[in-house]
Each structure stands twice: as structure tokens, then as C-alpha cells.
A and B are shown apart, each in its own frame.
Chain A
Amino acid sequence: MSSLEEVERSTDRVDRRATHADRAPRPVTGMGAPFAAFSVRKLVPDPRYYAPLFITGVLLAAHLSVGLLESPWQTGLAIVTSLVTELILGRLYFGKWPHLASAYVSGISVGILVRSSYYWPFALCAAISIASKYVFRIRDRHLWNPSNFGIAALLLVAHAMPHGDAEWMSTLSVQFGNSVGPMVVIWMLGSFIVSRLRRFHICATYVVSFFAFALLRALITGKSFESQYAPITGPMYQLFTFFMITDPKTTVRTQKGQMLVAFLVAAMEAVLRLAQNIHAPYFALFTVGPVANGVEIWLDARRARRKQGLQP
């Protein structure tokens, strides 16, 4: 879900045939700039707000219906920390106030996906997520999906600690239940939004790949096929399928490339699942995303050099 803001940015890119320069956070001038974009007039038609609106809607619906959030204050802290970190780092880095839609979605993603009875992991994860965008950059393009990086990094830290000292964090355990209803709603909404963003092929590739790898895992482990494809039938996995896998930062520009990346994410997840990694989806994205981006950046650079070489 942390990729939703990137999905929106990618819409701009697809529609306007954008260049790489468009991938960088779009600086907006003036002190009021970070909030100017939230005007009602702009809110509805601007596709960049589909994602924040959708994820806010999902959060509110889930919390009001099934009490998704143990503490709304924790989610609020994650959002505020994310926004403040983005403002500070963005201002220092670009010299201008950054657009806040992306940071908002990162914050809300952290607020949903992190589970802890403490407050500090929410603030910490949000700050790490945003900071990662500014640290791991090549050619002004960040490599990791921010909240995927934040969550995966903190999970790695937790696993590096003595067993009894790591009770401060886990990922989402309270879900939207296991019934068909929420799944259908998410499928409908997800299909609509992802189709509008011309990324449904990524979801389809991932789902088909997941089932294929589930069958393979069942054959390797001797477990039932049902138990191996079971995770993808849960509503939370639908969010992962529609909105994390479609993240431009974990995919690449071309349609074939995007499908290849989706396949590789499923493949990496299968490897991690065979190794009995509980957080396999997070770590699959965490590893495949930057590699895919790195390869594309390298290919682009090579192409640019060749182009320059051909020019008289």
C-alpha cells in the first residue's frame, strides 16, 4: 500500500510520456506550497490524490467496521512524523518545499502495517521510510518503496535482537477478516483504480505467478496446495497484490519489464516462503525492487551514452 502515491505519480508519467526527471519529488514553491495542493478544486480531478483518498477510505472503513487500528494516535503519529520528515529533508535536499501526498501515504501505510504497543516504532518507521528516499538515490531516483524499506529494515533490526527483546514490533495481524465480502470490495475497487493506472497486467502476472509457485512449493514441501495458496486469498493480500506490486519503484517502465518484475517478486517470495520467512512479501519487494530499478537505471544510462556517442 505504501506504493499508492507512486502509482499516482506513475499515472502522470504514463499519460504525459514523462522522462526520468519526473520521477523526482515535484518541488512546489512558497511556504504554503506543501498544503496548497489540498484545495478542494484540485482534489477531485487530480489523479495524484486517488491513492491518498483510497487508502484513507480503506483505513477509515476498516477501522470503523472492524477496529483495524488499536490506537488511531499511533497512526496519526506515523503520518505526522512522515510529513515532518519529508518537509525537513525535502526542503534541505531540493531547496524547496516538497509535495506531501507521497509522504502522507507512506505515513498512513506505516500506521496500518506496523503493529506495536509502543508509540516510538511508528514514528521511527515513518522517519526511516522517508529518510530512505533521500539516502538511496541514483540519478535523482530513489530505489526503494519508502514504507516497504522502513518496515523491512525494522523487521531485520528486530530479528537481529535477542528473541525476548524484539516484542516491540510486528506487522499487521488484525486484518479485515477472512470472509469473501471485503475481498470482493477490494477486488472491485482495486481493479478499477489499477486499470485506470494501466497496471492491471502487473497484478495478473503476480497472481498467476503466485499460484504457479504455490503449486511448486506444494510439490517441493509435500504440503497441500490449499495451504500454499491460502495467503493470497486473504483480503490484506489483495491490497498487496493491487497496490504494492504495482508500485513503479519496485517495477520498471516498460510493460514487459513490469510483468517480469512482478514475476520476480513472486519468485523471490516463493524462495523466502520455502525458507519459512513469515514476512516474505515485504522482503521480496525489498530485494527485487531496488535491483530492478538499478538495472533499469544502468540500461538507461548506457542507452544515453550510446545516443550521445552517435550524435555528431
Chain B
Amino acid sequence: MKLRLQMLFGVLLAGLLAAPFLLTRGAKAPRSLEPSPGVVARYGFRLQEVAHSSGVDFRHQAPTLDPRLNNIMPLIASMGAGVAVADFDRDGWQDFYVTNSGEGTNNALYRNLGNGKFQDVAAALGVAAVNERSTGVSMGAVWGDFDNDGYEDLFVFKWGRPELFRNDAGKRFVCVSDHAGFPGWVNANTAIWLDYDRDGLLDLFLGGYYDESLNLWQLSTTRIMPESFEYARNGGRKYLLRNLGEGRFEDVTARTGLLTRRWALAVAAADLRGTGYPDLVIANDYGVAEFFANVSDGRGGRMFREIGARTKIGAQPKSGMNVAFGDIRNDGSLAIYVSNITEPAVLVQGNNLWVPKVGSGAEDLTYENVANVMGVENGGWSFGAQFGDLNNDGLVDLFLTNGNVSGAREKSYWYPYSEIAGANTAIISDAKNWPAMQEASLSGYQQKRVWLNRGGEEFLEVAPLVGVTETYDGRAVAQADLWNRGALDVLVANQKAPLLLYRNEAKPDHRWIQFELEGTRSNRSAIGASVVLFWDGKQQRQEVLGGCGFCAQNQRRLHFGLGTASQVEKVMIRWPSGQSQTVTAPAVGQLHRIKEPA
């Protein structure tokens, strides 16, 4: 009798072991290496990689750091490919700046010639040669009009000396770092422009990764690594640099409560609590994400209070590498997308898509992670991601790049990585203890993700179907309408690989509208302005950002897809100064340049 029962239970056990094969069937979209012929009709757009034919031949190079890091050099020197978009010469065409990280290499500023071609003018305008062993190498850049002269200025953050270039009427750039009051050396991997106190001047947030006392080319110690894989607090410090005007900045980090030493990889700022002031979200490697609420300091100024755990986004330590905001359900609230690591059967952190809980407000704001139910959780070793309506159907989609280190295909660093990740602080924090990486891969050669928003309920992965098939080690993603056609094109900066430019062929019967804002009482870049578009019974909120994603910045111009709607009811703008403005029935299919009422 018992033997029969055992056999019966054995059948049950076999069924249970087979269950994963059934439960994971059909969970993925059909994949194809070639875009489908009817892809535009089916998904509303397709992407074609046109960098070379557009005159963009940029290849990122990694730095060569202190030889004492040779055992894990590919892992350490695995960042630095960044891209930031702006119309720096105000000719109406979006340009972009790309960072390089090899010592002696040049960064590139691609000027949009308006004829489908781009020309690198970085050297001619003085923003190319910024990567030197003595002053460090670039990790990324962000544009912002810090002097309110109407021209976007350029801030380059580095593992090294931060550099600020004042834009001289789009004709040249002047390095003004020396008198800006910046720190001498920061091992930074993220920075954004924001006007945290709404005084009309753009301030700068700069996030350190490695401790700022370290010169990674001349180390006095190899104890430079995180003290923990999940709870590290020995990273670089953060800087909030308040713009005093006339090119001077004041370090107000301590005064504003931004005393964190987590390993920051991405930051973005937006008014997430409905206070009119920008809050900060920081994605940290080796730890929890942080949510800094912008609150009154009781003395007429502003400061930040960390409420990450309370809001839930800071409850779980992961490997945060991206922060992007998007109104994914067209309900006027901004979801937060934080990318992490997923390596099948090895490490499943999963990316997070945080949406505000219904009913929670400024004082009790809480989020829930819907990445799994909406299908945007597994992005591999994820880096940069950006929301944008790629098919102009009226819902923001999500483009994610990924892949950490693509070395020898048959050699994986995952096992040695797992050895050190669980080790005691004394061992993990010392680079000399990390097993040699040699030419091994660590989550390399990964397929990118293009997630199509389906009715605000779920996302469908269509990357290979719409033409995204490359597998470089992606870092930064930026979206911009580079051809002024009412479609969002995509730039992807890859580590030790070419910059990619995807031209978007969006469905022609889908309408769109764009807004370019110019502050008067507010900062002239209008960074922090919140725009809500109402059309066809729907609404969508976007905010002008001074950098978001991973080492990236989208175009400052706001792009809304409208689906087949032929008219817009109104657009409501809340300027950073606090002033509100409503524009009724703006025409669709065109760019609207709106100046803040004086």
C-alpha cells in the first residue's frame, strides 16, 4: 500500500518538476532576428540604426586605471559611455554630446545639420579634450542654461575634475570650472541640473560613486571597493551645488541634508509629491534606492529628507543603475523606473517600476512595484532606460539597454563574482581579493528591450521585431526628435563600442504635439516645469528634466503622441516659479514654443 502511495506521489513530484516548463511557456513575445515586414502597421513604429550613414562614427574607449586593479580592470572600467541631447546653437535642430573615457580620447559634440547628417564640432568649439590622466576622464554630461542667457551650457562629470563649459551663443564653449567653486575631484557617475529652491537659477546635483579621495590612476590602497554587496555606505559623497549667479556655486550638501555615501549611479528630479518643488530619486549600486523629499528647512529655505524606506522604493537593496520617470497610465502621476540585475538562475533582482499608490499624497506617499505584472522586470544586467511614446499612440513606451561586460563568450565571471559578493567586509572591500577577471564575460552580449505600452496595463517586448538587435554593452539611452518629424529617435551609448542612432519610422496616421518651454521668472531652461496635456478624454503628464536615466539626458523639448486624435483640448503648464498657465486647443502636428508669462 505504502509503495503504491510512494509511486503515486512520485508521479505527482514529476508533474511538479515539469511545471516550470508549462508555466513559462508563452510568457515571451515571439522573437525574430529580422524586423517583420508589417511591423509599422502592427506596432506603430520601427527603428533603423543609421549612425554611420548619418555621419556619426563614435566609438567609446575605456580608461586604463592603476595597474593594481588589473585583476578586475574590465569590471572597474565598465562605465563612461554617456549621451546628452540639447539644441546648443538654437537652430531648431537637436544636437547631442557623447562622452569618451580613454585617457587622451575626445568627447564628441554632434551638431545636427538639419539634412539628416551630423558633424562633430566638439574640438572646434572646445569641449572635446577633457579626458586626461591628470584631470580624469568623462562619465557623462548634462546640459542646462545655468546663466540664463538662452544657450544651454554643458556640465561634464568625470572620475576626476568636474568641468563646466559656458555656451557662448552657440559659437564656442568656455571652460569656467576654475571659478565655479566646484570640488577639485569627484569620482562621479551621475549629475543633473535642477532648481531645488526655485530661485530661477539652475543648481547642480553631483553624485559620487567611488570615494572622492581616490585617484583611480594612482592608488595608495586597493581598499576601494564596496564594503558590502547590498548595504554599502562607503561610496563617494554627494554634492548639491547651489547656483549663486555669475558662474559661482556654493556647496549646500550638508545644509540640505544630502549626506549620503551610497554608491550612486543615477539620479533624477521631479515633483513627485505635488509640492511644486523637485524631489530627488537616487538609484544606488550595492544598496537601496533613496528618495529625498524636498521640504522646507524652517528658515525660508529648502532641504531634503530621505524617505526611501517609507515610500517602499528604498526597502530592498539591489544594484540600481537608472532612474526614469513616466506617466505610464495617463493618470497624471509619474512612475519611477529603476533598473537592476537579472541573470537567469543566478541573481534575480528584477527591475522596479514604482507607481504611486492611489490615495497617497505628499505626506504619506508610497509606491508599489508593478514591474512584474506589467512585464518590464527582466532586463538582464540593465543600465539606462527612458520612457517615450515611440509609436505616438498616446502612451509612453520604454527603451532599455543592458549588458555589463562582453568578453570571451565561453568564459563567465559569474562564479568568481558570487565568491566575493558574499564575503566579509574586510575581503570584499579590497580589490586585490577579487578573483581575476581576465577576459571573462559578466552578463555580456545581451538583447536590448523595447517595451511597448499596451493600454497602460502591460508592456510588450518587441525589440528584435522593431529592429533593435545589437548586443553591445549598453549604458546610456536618450530620446529626441532628431529629424523634426514628430517621432522620437533613440541614441544608445555603448561601453567600448559604437554609439548607435536609431531613426524612428513611426506610423504616419498617429498624431503628435511638442512643447518647448522657456522660463523667464523660472530658470530659462524651464527645468522642473510640469506639463499636463488633455486630449480625447485622456491626460498625460511630463516634466522638463535636467538629466535622467543613466548618464543621459533626453531632449528638453516635450513630445506627446496622440494616437489618431486630431485635436487637443488644452495643455496646463506649471512653471518652476510656481506660476500656472493654460493653453487651449494648441494645434497638433507641430512644435509649440511657449515662453513663461513675465
Contact = CB atoms under 8 A, between A and B. Distances in A.
Contacts of B426: 233
B327 interface: no
A178 B372 contact: no
Interface in B553-589: none
Interface string B295-322: 0000000000000010000011100000
Contacts, number: 168
B28 A227 contact: no
Contact of A165 (B227, B344, B347, B434): B344
A159 B345 contact: yes
A223 B10 contact: no
Contact of B418 (A118, A159, A278): A278
Contact of B344 (A67, A166, A276): A166
A135 interface: yes
Contact of B9 (A89, A153, A233, A273): A89
Given A167-B378, A234-B424, A223 B315 contact: no
Given A128-B13, A135-B13, A230-B419, A93 B5 contact: yes
A219 to B, nearest CB: 15
Nearest to B371: A117
A177 interface: yes
Nearest to B429: A178
Interface size class of B (residues with CB under 8 A): 35 or more
Contact of A161 (B20, B424, B430): B20
A277 B412 CA distance: 11
Interface in B214-231: 227-231
B9 to A, nearest CB: 5
B228 A178 contact: yes
Given A66-B317, A92-B5, A131 B425 contact: no
Q: Which interface class (under 10, 10 to 19, 20 to 34, 35 or more) fits A?
A: 35 or more
Interface in A199-230: 223-224, 226-228, 230
Contacts of A92: 5
A217 B510 CA distance: 62
A132 interface: yes
Given A128-B16, A178-B229, A276 B412 contact: yes
Interface in B375-429: 377-378, 412, 414-416, 418-420, 422-428
Residue in A154, A167, A233 with the greatest tally of chain B CB atoms within 10 Å: A167
Contacts of B348: 115-117, 167-170, 173
A101 interface: no
B350 A117 contact: yes
B104 to A, nearest CB: 33
B346 A278 contact: yes
A191 interface: no
The main secondary structure of chain A at its interface with chain B is helix
Given A115-B348, A158-B345, A175 B21 contact: no
Contacts of B23: 120, 168
Interface string B215-251: 0000000000001111100000000000000000000
A230 to B, nearest CB: 3
Contact of A67 (B21, B315, B345): B315
Given A66-B317, A118-B372, A175 B422 contact: yes
Contacts of A55: none
A175 B419 contact: no
Which residue, of B2, B288, B447, has the highest number of chain A Cβ atoms within 10 A?
A: B2
A230 B424 contact: yes
Interface in A112-135: 115-118, 120-121, 124, 127-128, 131-132, 134-135
Given A67-B317, A165-B344, A135 B227 contact: no
A61 B447 CA distance: 39
B122 to A, nearest CB: 39
B532 interface: no
Interface in B121-135: none
Nearest to B19: A124
A164 B28 contact: yes
Nearest to B428: A178
A178 B425 contact: yes
Interface string A134-145: 110100000000
Interface of B: 2, 5-6, 9-10, 12-13, 16-17, 19-21, 23-24, 27-28, 227-231, 288, 309, 315-317, 342-350, 371-372, 377-378, 412, 414-416, 418-420, 422-428, 430, 432-436, 447
Interface of A: 66-67, 70, 89, 92-93, 115-118, 120-121, 124, 127-128, 131-132, 134-135, 137, 153-155, 157-159, 161, 163-170, 173-175, 177-180, 183, 223-224, 226-228, 230-231, 233-234, 236-237, 273, 276-278
30 contacts: A66-B317, A67-B315, A93-B2, A117-B372, A118-B372, A131-B12, A134-B5, A135-B9, A137-B6, A153-B17, A157-B21, A158-B345, A161-B21, A168-B20, A169-B20, A169-B345, A173-B347, A174-B230, A174-B316, A177-B231, A178-B227, A179-B228, A223-B435, A226-B433, A227-B427, A227-B435, A231-B418, A233-B426, A276-B415, A278-B346
Given A118-B372, A167-B348, 16 more contacts: A66-B231, A66-B317, A93-B5, A124-B19, A128-B16, A135-B13, A163-B344, A168-B20, A169-B348, A177-B228, A179-B228, A230-B423, A230-B427, A230-B433, A277-B415, A278-B415
